[in-house]
Structure 1
């Protein structure tokens, strides 16, 4: 909890962490109104899926150019202006008058969120380097906290009874706090690195990190999409317990991220990835027993294990020798988002063809691959 105390007691560290929370407050508020948008525009699930694809498309379009933008204008400025664009774009989907406007609005939302995501992770990487402090995991904890705040905001739906107005309140909260604190990071620029000519040797560490990011984010996406269905169909859980798997996963992921920095400072980032993968493996084994309560405990352990891996990957990727921190972070983010979006889809075919049980067997094997990769990285660095 040292990093959490550091963030809450020092505006230099709270400022970027609140950006993490802000992005998920905005996205989470949009997410709770997806059914309302579907009904308002009279579109079916297939049309909604295509529209949400444009959200992903916006994210992927910005990834290749994000590092250049950050290096050109400075990571602090891009974080601040990216957040402003994200806040403005968050209002557009709820104001869209028709289906095509919705697709355009979601594309802009995805692009602005993608740029801010890379910038804020690069920003924390640079602050960690400058101050010799570890706050990356706790900053991701604030991202999870932002989702919790957005979820609590769902209780205002009946009171406000206006999706766009609800989002405006969320935007005002985000902007007011960020306006008060952005001066603590706006001036920061990424430290220049001595670049080397491209080589397979230079790229190999990033490639391994990218594979791990793809697998872990794909696993996160699978838990989000299928934990409830697994408890319902495989574990035969009563209706009251169907959502508890995802709840346990989310709570432990938030807790793990607030605890992660202190442990990472003691054992190092690569060992932290291996530890997280080991905990996740135990969690998947619990889930695969199919017993209701063991499965719920398993989802909690998976959340705890996965919670620390992605922050550590950003930390490692932003410090690869001969590579700009923004480029390293962009690569990790790009492969991670690819896994989050494509992994559940690919595994869905396995679930449809065979069984959801086999899907979780594959996820277990993927966690083993992550642990093996971390061991390889550790001995490579020795």
Structure 2
């Protein structure tokens, strides 16, 4: 919890961490009104799926150009501008008068969130290098905390009874706190890096990190989408326990991220990725036992194991020799988001054609590959 105390006691560290929370407050507030938007615009699930594709498209469009913009503006200013853009864009989907405006609004929201995601992770990487402090994992814990804040906001739905007004309140909260604290990071620029000519040797570590990011965030997406269905259909859990798998996963994800920085400082970023993968493997074994309570414990272990991996990948990716921190972070973010968005869809076909249990067997196998790849990466670092 050292990094959490650091964030809460020093505005230099709280300021970028609040950006992490802000992104998920905005996205989470949009997410709770998806059914309302669907009903308001009179669209079916297929139409909604296409609209959500534009959200993903906005994210992917910005990834190739984000690093150049961040380097030109300076990572601190880029983060501040990114959160302003994301806040304004978050209003558009809930104000959309028709389906086409909804697609456009989601595209802008995706672009804003994608850009801010790269900027804020690069910002934390730079502050860590400058101050020799570890707080990347705890910053991702604040991202999870932002989701909790958005979830608690769902209790205001019937009180406010206006989705756009609800989002406006969320935007005001995000912007006011960021305005107060942004001066603590807006001046920061990335340290110059002595670039090396492109070579497979230079790219190989990033490629391995990207594959790990793809697998782990794909696994996160699968837990979000299917943990409840697994407990219902495979474990035959009572209705009151169907949501407990995702709850256990989310709570341990948040807790693990607040604890991760201290462990990383003690054993190193590569070893903690290996440790996280090992814990997640045990979790998948518990889930695949299919016994309800063991499966719930398994989801908790997967959350704990996965919690420390993605923050460490950003930390490692931002410090690869010969590569700008923004480019390294952008690559990790791009592959990770690809996994989060594509993985659950691909595995969904497996679940439909065979069984949901097979999707978790595949996720177990992929997590074992993550452990093997991490151990090989560690061996080459020695």
Same fold (TM over 0.5): yes
Any idea what SS the aligned residue of 1:23 has? helix
Aligned to 2:119: 119
Report the count of equivalent residues: 382
**1:27 and 2:27 are equivalent in the alignment:** yes
Residue 338 of structure 1: how far off its partner (Å)? 0.2
Other-structure match for 1:168? 168
Q: Which runs of 5+ in 1 are unaligned?
A: none
Does residue 252 in structure 1 map to residue 242 in structure 2?
no
Could you list the per-position Cα deviations for residues 136-163 of structure 1 after superposition, in whole angstroms to 9, with x for gaps in the alignment?
0000000000000000000000000000
1:85 alignment counterpart: 85
**Shift, 1:233, TM fit:** 0.2
Partner residue in 2 for 1:344: 344
Offset from partner CA, 1:271-315 (integer Å, 9 cap, x none): 000000000000000000000000000000000000000000000
Q: Which residue of 2 aligns with 1:233?
A: 233
Task: Tell me, yes or no, if structure 1 residue 293 matches structure 2 residue 293.
Answer: yes
What SS class does the counterpart of residue 90 from structure 2 fall into?
A: helix
* CA–CA distance in structure 1, aligned partners of residues 254 and 373 of structure 2: 25
Alignment match, 2:334: 334
With normalisation by structure 2, the TM-score equals 1.00
Distance in 2, matches of 1:354 and 1:109, equals 35
Partner of 2:213: 213
Q: How far apart are the structure 2 equivalents of 1:167 and 1:380?
A: 48
The 2-side partners of 1:222 and 1:91 are apart by 28
Root-mean-square deviation over aligned CA pairs: 0.3
Q: Which residue does the alignment assign to 2:6?
A: 6
1:148 equivalent to 2:148? Answer yes
Shift of 1:185: 0.1
Q: What SS is found at the alignment partner of 2:181?
A: helix
Give every structure 1 segment of 4 or more consecutive aligned residues whose post-TM-superposition deviation is greater than 2 Å: none
Q: Matches of 1:353 and 1:201 in 2, distance apart?
A: 40
Partners of 2:133 and 2:85 lie apart in 1 by 29
Counterpart residue number, 2:179: 179
Deviations 1:38-63 (A, max 9, x none): 00000000000000000000000000
Query: What runs of 5+ residues in structure 2 fail to find an aligned partner?
Result: none
Give the superposition deviation at 1:220: 0.2
Displacement after TM superposition at 1:348 (Å): 0.7
Residue 100 of structure 1 is matched in structure 2 by 100
CA drift of 1:206 comes to 0.1
Q: Matched residues in 1 for 2:319 and 2:376: separation?
A: 18
Q: How far apart in 2 are the matches of 1:28 and 1:346?
A: 24
Check if 1:46 corresponds to 2:46.
Answer: yes
